[in-house]
Structure 1
Amino acid sequence: MSRNSLCGIRERIALHKGSRVRYRASRGRRKVEERQGVILETYPHLFTMYIESQQSTVSFRYAELLTREVELEILPGREKLV
Structure 2
Amino acid sequence: MSEKLLGIREKLASHIGDRVRYRQAKGRRKTEEHEGVIMETYPNIFTLYVKAQNSTVSFRYSDLLTHDVELEFLSSNDRMPHKAR
Report the Cα distance in structure 2 between the residues aligned to 1:5 and 1:32, rounded to whole angstroms.
25
Partner of 2:31: 32
Change (3 A) 1:77 1:15: closer
1:28-77, Cα deviation, whole Å (9 max, x unpaired): 11110000000001000000000000100000000000001100011025
Specify the SS of the correspondent of 1:65: helix
Q: What amino acid is the match of 2:30?
A: K
Tell me what 1:23 maps to: 22
Alpha carbons of 1:45 and 1:23: their partners in 2 closer, same or farther (altered >3 Å)?
same
- Of Structure 1 and Structure 2, the greater helix share is in 2
Cross-structure match for 2:77: 78
How far apart are the structure 1 equivalents of 2:20 and 2:34?
9
Q: Which runs of 5+ in 1 are unaligned?
A: none
Count of residue pairs brought into register by the alignment: 79
Q: Where do 5+ consecutive residues of structure 2 fail to align? A: none
Are 1:19 and 1:74, in contact at CA under 8 Å, matched by a contact in 2?
Answer: yes
* C-alpha distance in structure 2 between counterparts of 1:11 and 1:42, whole Å: 9
Alignment RMSD? 1.2
Structure 2 residue 43 is matched with structure 1 residue 44:
yes
Kept in 1, the 8 Å contact 2:18–2:76? The answer is no
Q: Scaled by the length of structure 1, what TM-score is found?
A: 0.91
